[in-house]
Amino acid sequence: MEFKGKTALITGSARGIGKAIAERFAGLGAKIVISDVLLDLAEATAAEFKSKGYEAIAVKANVTDAGEVAHLIDETVARFQTLDILVNNAGITRDTLLVRMSEEDWDKVLDINLKGAFLVTQAAAKIMMKQRSGRIINISSVVGRMGNAGQANYAASKAGLIGLTKAVAKELAGRNVTVNAVAPGYIATEMTEKLSPAAKEAFLANIPLKRAGSPGDIAGVVAFLASDDASYITGQVIGIDGGLLM
């Protein structure tokens, strides 16, 4: 896999899975846009990449804000001329049982995880359609496919991302833009750090490969989906969950 001359924009890439994806693309030669709502952390990540000899910029963008998203895409093209790969990775959890879930927690999760992906995809698609090439990869979740108690909002957002993936894949296929999703299982990051020991054990007990995944496990599959080897794959959801869902 090689991404020399290509530009990859990853939302929510200041840390965690997004950062690992960004680093994988950088190592394979891509120019990287680190984008996050946390500007200081995004700048620190971009500085770390530059110190390793990678080409990277940091742009603050809250994916729920159409104006900030427009600025993100403008900055990307102004700096790197193209936008070849978009990874919609920004996401949050606000877990609680349905009967206790506030409307605010519902809206916040749907807004960032689903509407955010819509806004960034829409803005990026305009560039990719003109280029007649592009790759969009959405970070869904195993929870969007199998549900999970305490995550009604998150599961709905991640299932929604799968619908978005398939609809947009059909719309953009004629312009040589592929759109796929990955559905990670239990991956060790700051997001899952806050799970209770009992919840972590429950996950592990059901994972045939008997370990949590790493951000690198996700990055490798995302890079494959963005590569030339995946040019005939679109509208698909690839599970990366140690066999949790078969």
Give residues in contact with ligand NAD (CB under 6 A).
11-12, 14-18, 36-38, 62-64, 89-92, 112, 116, 139, 141, 184, 186-187, 189-192
Closest CB to ligand NAD among 57 and 90? 90
Angstrom distance (rounded) from CA 131 to CA 126: 9
Token output for 179: 């759109």
Q: How far is residue 190 CA from its own chain's centroid? A: 15
Reported as type and span, the H/E element at residue 138 is strand 134-139
**Least distance (Å) between residue 88 CB and ligand NAD:** 8
**Least distance (Å) between residue 139 CB and ligand NAD:** 4
Closest CB to ligand NAD among 94 and 175? 94
Closest CB to ligand NAD among 6 and 15? 15
**Least distance (Å) between residue 103 CB and ligand NAD:** 18
Answer for the pair 11, 45: CB distance below 8 angstroms, yes or no. no
* Residues involved in catalysis: 154
Answer for the pair 235, 170: CB distance below 8 angstroms, yes or no. yes
Measured from the Cβ of residue 154, the count of other Cβ atoms closer than 10 Å reads 24
Q: State the DSSP code for 115.
A: I
Strand-pairing partners, residue 180, are: 137
Answer for the pair 11, 18: CB distance below 8 angstroms, yes or no. yes
Closest CB to ligand NAD among 5 and 163? 163
**Least distance (Å) between residue 132 CB and ligand NAD:** 28
